[in-house]
Every structure is written in structure tokens, then in C-alpha cells.
Chains A and B, each alone.
Chain A
């Protein structure tokens, strides 16, 4: 298994531009999570999906952020328009069905976003 795959690994963009981050979860994992990591705030949960359905988006900072999961193998996190304070590492993670309680999250390698 290739693990959780995120793209791009690095993204540098100008303030005001649209940014799209992509994630492919592990096959068979029915939970998908988007986290943001900064020095000041640590690992923050933005949104998570179960079976492609958004369950909790209370962590999404504002309307500029949106996430979709059109099918079991793909999710996107979009920021429009981007601002310098959005600069962070964005992680996608997936986990197996709730019944399999001996396994935790598997994280992707992350996308380091810099907004200038």
C-alpha cells in the first residue's frame, strides 16, 4: 500500500490566489481528516469525512476554506482567496472503519503552504 498520498508537497502562492490541496486516502479506510499544523496552534482539525460525507467542519476557519470528497479515493481542500496567515503544513489522514479499533490514523506527508 502506498499510504496516504498528498499533493503538492510544497506550494508557494501569492495572497488572493486560489489554492487546492489534494489527498488520496488508503483504500478501505472510510474516515478522512484534514489537519493544519502551525507552531502557534499545533495540529488543528479542520474537517473530517466518513464514507465521503462531511461529518464535522467546525474547525474550518472561515468561508474561504472548503473541502470536498467526491469519492472514496479523493479529497480536496480549497482556500479562496488565500492569505498569508494561511501559511502552514496541511496534513490529510485516513483511518479504518470504527470497528477496527487497534489502528490509528495514517498521515500523508503533508503540503507545506506558503502565502506571500
Chain B
């Protein structure tokens, strides 16, 4: 079953913050985050492994709560270049890593000047 993302869409002004959530009904081994601009391929942002880690680069960071089977992506001081559709990709495997990702429903982020 596909992970559920919320919100479905969000509109921001430059400089504002946003949080995108990803929730799975299955036990998770890892969570990936990708951004896709219109007409382009998804681009890898970061991966979080089980263990409740947090990661970030620049002003984009993420957390992973394996007990709740949830991950959140945090975008701070948003820039116009952050616009696009964000997808979480979840790897579920009771037996360990499979490298197989099921992508979430997507969140459309629009940053306006």
C-alpha cells in the first residue's frame, strides 16, 4: 500500500517554512525523499535509515520515527528553487534491506516571490 503524504499541496511565500509528512502502514527499514520539478525526473534529496536519525543539508532536513512508521521533511526559509512535487519513498522489509521503494502520494509545493 502506498505511503500517505500530507499536505497534498502547500503554497508558500519566499522565506517561509514548510513541513511535509509521510506515513506508512508497514514497518519501515528506510525512507528516501525526492523532489520532482514539472516535466523532469525525480531527484534524490536524502535517505534516512532506521534508528530514528535526522539528516539535513542546507535548509532542508528530515526526521524518521520508525516506531510511528513516519517521516517528515522540513524546508526552512524557502526559496523559489524549492518549488516542485516532493515524494517520500519507503523501504519496508522485516528481513532487512531490499532496496525496493514504494513512493508516496506526493506533495506539491509552490513558493511564490
Task: Please report A residues at the B interface, Cβ cutoff 8 Å.
Answer: 31, 33, 35, 42-43, 45, 48, 50, 55-56, 91, 95, 98, 101-110
Q: Are A110 and B44 in contact (CB under 8 A)?
A: no
Give the interface size class of chain B: 20 to 34
Instruction: Of the listed stretches B20-28, B59-67, B76-84, B97-105, name the one at the interface; the rest are far from the partner chain.
Output: B97-105
Q: Are B47 and A104 in contact (CB under 8 A)?
A: yes
- Of all chain A residues, the one with the shortest Cβ separation from B104 is A42
- Of all chain B residues, the one with the shortest Cβ separation from A110 is B41
Q: Are A109 and B41 in contact (CB under 8 A)?
A: yes
The smallest C-beta distance from B89 to any residue of chain A, in angstroms, reads 8
A-contact 0/1 string along B80-113, CB 8 Å cutoff: 0000000101000000011111111110000000
> Interface SS of chain A: helix, strand, loop or mixed?
strand
Q: B42 an interface residue at 8 Å Cβ cutoff? A: yes
- Of all chain B residues, the one with the shortest Cβ separation from A4 is B41
Beyond the given A45-B100, A102-B47, A103-B44, could you list 7 further A-B residue pairs with CB under 8 A, ordered by the A residue number?
A42-B87, A45-B103, A55-B100, A104-B32, A104-B34, A104-B44, A105-B34
* A105 in contact with B44 given A43-B87, A48-B100, A56-B100 (CB within 8 Å): yes
Q: Are A91 and B41 in contact (CB under 8 A)?
A: yes
- Note all chain B residues with C-beta closer than 8 A to A103: 44, 47
